[in-house]
Amino acid sequence: MRRRHLNTTDQVSRTLALRFHLINAFRQTWRSTFFLSSALTGLYLLIGLFVIDKDELSMQKDPRVDWLGATLITVALVLIIFVLSDGEIAPNKWATSCRLPIGHANLILFA
């Protein structure tokens, strides 16, 4: 009997189908979804500990850090979290005028 190797799409679709069926098999509460996701995460962690190879230590010294890039991505992430989380509590909800310029600033910072 030949063993068929699954590609990544098959593996992802089977995992999502399993998760969907397991979630729907139990009572629909937030706890059942939480406990199932926690159990599957623990299972994936254990599988990963045995399957993923250990990294080789590098003896090279490379202290360079892209400070400009790190600063830009940090500012962009803070701004996008601000825009998405403060949209409902602003005075005019999502129609507040500061949302559009901050969104454009995010596009520039992420580019």
Pull the structure tokens for residue 12: 């992802």
Which pLDDT tens digit goes with each residue over 19-44? 777 666 666 677 777 877 888 889 88
Which pLDDT tens digit goes with each residue over 2-23? 555 556 677 777 777 777 776 6
Instruction: For residue 1, name the pLDDT band (cuts at 50, 70, 90).
Output: very low
Q: How far apart are CA 110 and CA 77, in angstroms?
A: 9
What confidence score (pLDDT) does residue 72 get?
Answer: 84
Specify whether the CB–CB gap between 79 and 107 falls below 8 A. Answer: no
Specify whether the CB–CB gap between 76 and 39 falls below 8 A. Answer: no
Residue boundaries of the structural domains of the chain: 8-51, 67-110
Q: How far apart are CA 74 and CA 82, in angstroms?
A: 12
Which pLDDT tens digit goes with each residue over 47-99? 888 888 888 887 788 778 888 888 888 888 887 787 777 767 767 776 666 76
What confidence score (pLDDT) does residue 46 get?
Answer: 92
